[in-house]
Structure 1
Amino acid sequence: MVRYAEPGTVEWVESGGGPLIAVPETVLPFWAGADGEETASDYDRACEIDGHVGLLPVGDCTALVLGDEPASTAYLPEHGVFVRWCAADSENELLASVPAAVDAAEWEPEVCWDVPGAVLLFDAAWPGSAPSGDDRVRVVLEPGRYAVRAARVQPGPETWVGLVQVRLVAPR
């Protein structure tokens, strides 16, 4: 994890080159990452997601894959978005652009994601049992069905941000 602001303000997760994944805590042991005896590992399945977001079965739940590029990513609960740092001169510049980026976004089609509660965001190559506190971010979500949509926005001349918005549409 990389922190660009004051500790505890915004926590960023980075990837070693592949997608990030948000796995419900209840099924973390079922995510094998790049390990495994299968011909196609869980990581391989995550890499096959085409586009900015996708869903993969994990245990009796579904994980959210943040694909497209391995950008540093943070979750901003006040906006209900995963923010992906594509280009910006500073964290402050990037974070200040988020409200305008959300308003200006041309969203891709939504997917529905059923979530049993909190999820962990981490590099999809890691097994669910392996990421340490510095390799992941815990995202507290209310159990229920979420509409998930993604966009890539240029809110400033030198600023590009990826957005993955999660909106609760049916609480449990």
Structure 2
Amino acid sequence: MARHRVRWVESGGGPLIAVPETVLPFWAGAEGDETASDYDRACEIDGPVGLLPVGDGAALVLGDEPAATAYLPDHATFVRRYAADSEADVLSAVPAALATAEWEKEVRWKVPGPVHLFDSARPGTDPERSDPLRVTLPPGPYAVRAAWTRPGPETWLGLVQLRALER
């Protein structure tokens, strides 16, 4: 794996969300006058991943428990750190975790280009407040699958892998 700086995104307690850059202005987070905010909709996702309509696109919700999450482009995978002694332990465990994971059912996600990963309670229009991680993805359809793994006695990870599909 190429060495690059890994940036972790954390939430204040709710799910993280990957919103396509083209529809960021339409994500209101926990703000708004509606009876159910975008954040409330994200919290209703049952399982490790789900899709929510945003503008004329869809956002990917990383559900279940909140966990520090990074995107590893070499593996096209969001890695969620539930327990580990160090970042080095997490990163060294990823290849084995990917090889032995028992994957949940895939979802199909149409991505128009780069996405921003951030706390779903934050609005997409305020990058200073949401502190997003920008993930560059080529436009197109993706199969998204998720798994919980325990590659070591002290290392528990969630994996959300993206696989580009033919158009």
Range into which the TM-score falls when normalised by the shorter chain: over 0.9
Shift of 1:92: 0.2
CA RMSD between the two structures: 1.4
Per-residue CA deviations over 1:105-138 (Å, capped at 9, x if unaligned) read 0000000000000000000000001132872100
Per-residue CA deviations over 1:6-33 (Å, capped at 9, x if unaligned) read 9x60000000000000000000000000
Asked if the contact 2:119/2:130 (under 8 Å) is kept, the reply is no
Cα separation, 2, equivalents of 1:167 and 1:89: 29
Q: Could you say which residue in structure 1 is the equivalent of 2:100?
A: 104
Q: Could you say which residue in structure 2 is the equivalent of 1:119?
A: 115
Moved over 6 A (4+): none
How many residues align structurally? Answer: 165
Q: Which runs of 5+ in 1 are unaligned?
A: 1-5
User: Which of 120, 129, 132 is 2:125 aligned to?
Assistant: 129
Identical counterparts, % of pairs: 70
**SS state at 1:170 partner:** coil
What is the TM-score with the length of structure 1 in the denominator? 0.93
Q: Could you say which residue in structure 2 is the equivalent of 1:10?
A: 6
1:72 counterpart = 2:68: yes
Q: Could you say which residue in structure 2 is the equivalent of 1:42?
A: 38
Q: Could you say which residue in structure 2 is the equivalent of 1:142?
A: 138
Cα separation, 2, equivalents of 1:36 and 1:51: 25
What is the TM-score with the length of structure 2 in the denominator? 0.96
1:30 counterpart = 2:21: no
Q: Which moved more, 1:12-21 or 1:130-139?
A: 130-139
User: Which of 41, 51, 58 is 1:55 aligned to?
Assistant: 51
Shift of 1:144: 0.3
Cα separation, 1, equivalents of 2:10 and 2:166: 30
Shift of 1:170: 2.3
